[in-house]
Amino acid sequence: MRSEVEQRVLDFVRQSRMASAGDRVGVAVSGGADSVAMLRLLESLRDELGITLLVVHFDHMLRGAESESDARFVAGLAQARGLEFVDAREDVRAAAAKHGWNIEEAARRLRYAFFDRILGEGTATRIAVAHSADDQAETLLGHVVRGTGLTGLAGIYPIVESSAGGAIIRPLLHMRRQELRDYLETQGQEWREDPTNRDETRLRARIRARLLPVLESEFSPQIVERLGELARLAREEEMFWSALVEAKLAECAEVIRGAASGTAMAVDAQELIAPFSFGRISEPCAGDAMKALTERLIRRLYEKVRGDRRELSACHVEQVIRLAAESTSGKRVQLPGRIAVERVFGRVVFSCAQNQDHASPGEAGPSGYQYVVKFPDAGTTSVAVPELATCFRLKIVDWPLAESDTKSDSDVLDAGVLRAPLLLRNWRPGDAYRPRGHRQTRKLKQMFLAERIPSHQRARWPVLESAGQVVWARGMAPAAEFCARKGTRVGVLIEEESL
């Protein structure tokens, strides 16, 4: 007969839709009471759920012989239960020192990377981790102590989709820690104790040992359940906001994939400041709601460019708002993680600062380049420009242009008038030519302004030079005297693609 604890876990898994029949669930077992209880509980429910179990274990190598002993204990447990065992070990302390992470962050990053590998390889379709209701309460209190918003109050999510495929699930998130220990005792099941859980130099351990017991005994015996309910409500709110933010980004944000700044995100400054119409809502309320959405858009843009939103504070978000609302083109703010946000005319551009050229428009900058183009008699010649992460292809075409070519005739150069040396290089101060359709020679600097090319991109801007004369610049009309015309027999198309 199923116990009360088993029934509650079964109900929670089903209501949360954590697993479906046919899933292969990797049970992350550290050897501690919570993870061992999760294994025994899922084992008792696997037939009813229609799932297959395997045991996964990650050795952080932080406690020497004790860590090795934990790994042997978990391997023995898997063998005794007749379950497949998958393990890995990495030096967390060395990774923390190498990357500048704290130990807890390094441990989490490496552990979840291990889970992602298992999911990505198809060894499992779900990874179950043993966070309990107490873990949820400790997490929320930790966020409040450090300072948090609604996102932080959402706490630990029951299900998190993995970028590798599958998901991380937490089937014990509604269970108290002591309930799990009581369950193990009824099963006669041993577990391992990790002494670092009592290390009160860590904030979580202090909350567990000092703060939560006081709240529970002197303020509310149901504080853990209350905090769990708060997290659930915050998650519902956060899911609404996330859906709204993603819809707005799809509408107004643009991904910029270019060599000069790597992958970047751009959004219209006015759309960022006033992203939504709130109709008849009073102005103060509408303003607050508008700012709430603006702040979330900024955080999401930052996350898309960097990969996460660590270190981004409310102060940083406010700097971006001021940049969008008040600054002129060319102004920028620097955010944590080497992310730069720049006002480029009417747009706000988020990009990785380490991929940008910070030379002023009048300097060639440290990233200058120059490549000799060997002109073929037929076919295509390719010129890779690592500085731009771009490959340029000069395609020789018969004239007139075949219908299968989609490039505009007016962008085709006349191969017969091109002369060696033919150079593909970055823009230099003083570069000028007479563009097709113009009567006067124009400096490229003027053309950059007219085309609204961001100042930090100009020093690397590619141009084609023929015998000392500029004949082409990316995105601009080519030089008039070098364009294909009546009498042209062979044309040249210039195309590009990312390396």
Please state whether beta strands 84-89 and 159-161 pair in parallel, antiparallel, or not at all (unpaired): unpaired
pTM comes to 0.69
Number of Cβ within 10 Å of residue 35's Cβ equals 24
What are the distances in angstroms from CA 37 to CA 34, 88, 178, 335? Answer: 5, 21, 11, 43
Please state whether beta strands 422-426 and 159-161 pair in parallel, antiparallel, or not at all (unpaired): unpaired
What are the distances in angstroms from CA 129 to CA 34, 115, 174? Answer: 9, 10, 13
In the block, residue with structure tokens 């490229």 = 444
Residues 6+ apart with CB under 8 A from 37: 130, 172, 180, 181, 183, 184, 189, 191
In the chain, the domains with their CATH numbers are 4-236 (3.40.50.620), 259-355 (3.30.465.60), 370-498 (no CATH)
Q: Residue 150 corresponds to which tokens in the numbers above?
A: 């609604």
- Cα–Cα distance between 42 and 29 in angstroms, integer? 12
Question: Per-residue pLDDT for the chain (499 aa), expressed as one digit of tens each?
Answer: 789 999 999 999 999 999 999 999 999 999 999 999 999 999 999 999 999 999 999 999 999 899 999 999 999 999 999 999 999 999 999 999 988 888 988 999 999 999 999 999 999 999 999 999 999 999 999 999 988 888 899 999 999 998 888 999 999 999 999 999 999 999 999 999 988 888 888 899 999 999 999 999 999 999 999 999 999 999 999 999 999 999 999 988 888 754 344 568 889 998 998 887 665 555 555 567 788 899 999 999 999 988 888 788 888 999 999 999 887 777 888 888 888 898 888 889 898 854 444 433 333 344 578 888 887 667 788 888 877 878 888 888 887 765 544 445 557 899 889 988 889 999 998 999 999 989 899 999 999 988 888 877 888 899 999 989 999 999 899 999 999 888 888 889 898 887 5
Burial of 300 (0-12, 13-18, 19+ CB in 10 A): buried
- Cα–Cα distance between 422 and 431 in angstroms, integer? 15
Residues 6+ apart with CB under 8 A from 216: 223, 224
Nearest by Cα to 428 from 445, 440, 450: 445
Q: What residue type is 382 in one-letter code?
A: S
In the block, residue with structure tokens 């195309």 = 495
